[in-house]
Amino acid sequence: MIWECEWCWPQVPGELLLQPRVRNIPISSSLNSIHWDKVGEAFSTTRAFQGIRARSSIVAWHDIVWHPKRIPKHAFSLWLALRGAHRTRNKLLAMGVVQSAMCVFHCGETESTEHIFFQCPFLAKVWREVLSSCNIPRPILPWVDEVQWMSTHAKGNEFQ
């Protein structure tokens, strides 16, 4: 397609689909090479990913999920909770996966995100113990306020 530094297209009636797209690309007489983004820039998977992904705005709870000492499994579970994406029994019942949405801790309530964080009496007791073990003397807050409290007080590896 390139012959003696010029585009050279096969003789066909009409124009090939590719021709308008490459018509204004300058042809260099130097050796061919592959670059990413700009001439002279080496390819990297990170830069390719950054180039093709859609960036979202940074959320307030970013630091409590993606802190340097995170345990990936815990970070993922917290991220699901913050996105309201845990498959709680009320959602599974709506999908026909389970026959009952009752909380598995037998408190008599429907299991939902709000219930497990921390309206369920059993899970509220567990959370109170966690707070106590971490020397955090405060009552349990609604989930949104728990997230806000943690975002405000967790800086680096410590609570403030």
- Residues making contact with Zn ion (CB under 5 A): 103, 105, 107, 120
Least Å distance, CB 105 to Zn ion, is 4
Least Å distance, CB 146 to Zn ion, is 17
- Of residues 82 and 120, the one with the C-beta less far from Zn ion: 120
- Of residues 107 and 154, the one with the C-beta less far from Zn ion: 107
Query: Using CA atoms, how far apart are residues 66 and 34, in angstroms rounded to an integer?
Result: 34
- Of residues 84 and 121, the one with the C-beta less far from Zn ion: 121
- Of residues 64 and 103, the one with the C-beta less far from Zn ion: 103
What residue has token string 């590896």? 157
Least Å distance, CB 121 to Zn ion, is 6
Give residues with Cβ within 8 angstroms of 134, minimum separation 6. 159
Query: Using CA atoms, how far apart are residues 7 and 23, in angstroms rounded to an integer?
Result: 8
Residue 68 is classified by DSSP as: T
Would you call 75 helix, strand, or coil by DSSP? helix
Least Å distance, CB 123 to Zn ion, is 6
